[in-house]
Amino acid sequence: MMPRMHWALGVFLLVVLSAGVVDGHHSFFGEFDIHQPLTITGTITKVEWMNPHIRFVVDVMGRGGKVTTWTFSGDGASALARRGVTETMLKVGDVIKIDGYRALDGSFTAAAGAVTLPNRKRVFVGPLQEPTPI
């Protein structure tokens, strides 16, 4: 009787833990629209350098001085490190230009692609270099 309990507990833990992993990762095409490319210039206000995706927040000055806050998602920190993109390249207060793809839900959320840094260096931070339509 006792071995069955251990087996059932093991299966239960496997299901619970794997559900969190599956929920934490998403498909590019499930969240972003390749038919809505955008280019935005703004000031970085926050950077979250982590896996499975980095995130950074940019304030964009619009017409009449209205500020819109955009949240960008990029590739994972470890994938970016392999490309030579480091955490110190995206700094709070820097004005950057981002080429990316808007979220399917129309929110001020986007997938980052290429980022032009203040020194005019262009780095690729996105999960897809050139998304291909499905």
Mean pLDDT over 66-88 rounds to: 94
Question: What value does the mean pLDDT take over residues 47-64?
Answer: 94
Whether CATH 3.40.50.1820 fits 28-124 = no
Q: What integer pLDDT is reported at residue 15 of this predicted model? A: 41
For residue 8, pLDDT over 50 is answered with no
Predicted structure pTM score: 0.74
Question: Which residues make Cβ contacts (< 8 Å) with residue 70, sequence separation at least 6?
Answer: 40, 42, 57, 58, 59, 60, 108, 109, 110
Percent of the chain with pLDDT strictly greater than 70: 72
Q: How far apart are alpha carbons 96 and 72 in whole angstroms?
A: 12
**131 is written with which tokens?**
């998304």
Residue 27 pLDDT:
63
Residue 3 pLDDT? 54
Binning pLDDT at 50, 70 and 90, where does residue 75 land?
very high
